[in-house]
């Protein structure tokens, strides 16, 4: 019987196989605040994201969620399954937006492992390429993209949880009950 690991440390290079598909465990509902804050933060002045009367005059008849927010959210939803241990993102490509995202939509991510290889310049990491798609609550594909990232080999990573050193334990005050 397989059991979930007692301590989840994310995936390392050896944990991937070409063809693996990972679906985000959680969905995320897009709020008006998400759209407004992200639009303002990125200085995007396209009124379709923040001017309701203007957006109502377009073919969408309501504000669109900023597409780079959609890219960021779907990437984020994929991280726990794919790149939680990544050393670096190497690039995004082939971004497609087949269906608009609106405030109130709930999105999920699904990622497929396309390619993997050991790094030629860094023997302690591998490079993983994935295709990710975002879907809404009606199973409509709202975004697809490819992403590559560098991820360490399992033996190259030490547990980062802080522990007391022996010397600090020796000098710590003794407690009694």
Of 161, 51, 57, 59, nearest to 100 by C-alpha is 59
Supply the pLDDT for residue 2.
Answer: 61
Supply the pLDDT for residue 64.
Answer: 96
**pLDDT one-digit tens code per residue, 102-120:** 999 999 999 999 999 999 9
End-to-end C-alpha distance for the chain, whole angstroms: 43
**pLDDT one-digit tens code per residue, 121-173:** 998 999 999 999 999 999 999 999 999 999 999 887 777 778 887 555 555 55
pTM: 0.84
Q: Where are the alpha helices (DSSP H) in 12-51?
A: 32-41
CA-to-CA dists, residue 153 to 7, 57, 128, 143, angstroms? 17, 52, 12, 30
Looking at the predicted structure, is the pLDDT value of residue 3 above 60? yes
Looking at the predicted structure, is the pLDDT value of residue 1 above 90? no
Supply the pLDDT for residue 106.
Answer: 98
Domains and CATH numbers, the chain: 13-156 (3.10.129.10)
């Amino acid at each position: 019987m397989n059991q979930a690991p007692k301590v989840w440390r994310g995936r390392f290079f050896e944990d991937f196989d070409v063809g693996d598909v990972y679906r985000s465990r959680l969905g995320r509902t897009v709020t008006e605040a998400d759209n407004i804050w992200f639009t303002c933060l990125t200085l995007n002045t396209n009124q379709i994201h923040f001017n309701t009367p203007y957006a109502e005059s377009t073919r969408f008849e309501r504000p669109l969620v900023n597409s780079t927010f959609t890219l960021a959210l779907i990437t984020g939803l994929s991280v726990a399954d794919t790149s939680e241990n990544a050393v670096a993102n190497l690039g995004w490509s082939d971004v497609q937006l087949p269906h608009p995202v609106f405030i109130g939509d709930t999105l999920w991510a699904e990622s497929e492992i396309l390619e993997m290889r050991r790094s030629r310049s860094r023997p302690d990491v591998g490079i993983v390429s994935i295709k990710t798609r975002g879907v809404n609550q009606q199973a409509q594909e709202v975004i697809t993209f490819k992403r590559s990232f560098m991820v360490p080999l399992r033996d190259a990573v030490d547990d980062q949880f802080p522990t007391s050193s022996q010397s600090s334990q020796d000098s710590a005050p003794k407690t009694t009950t």
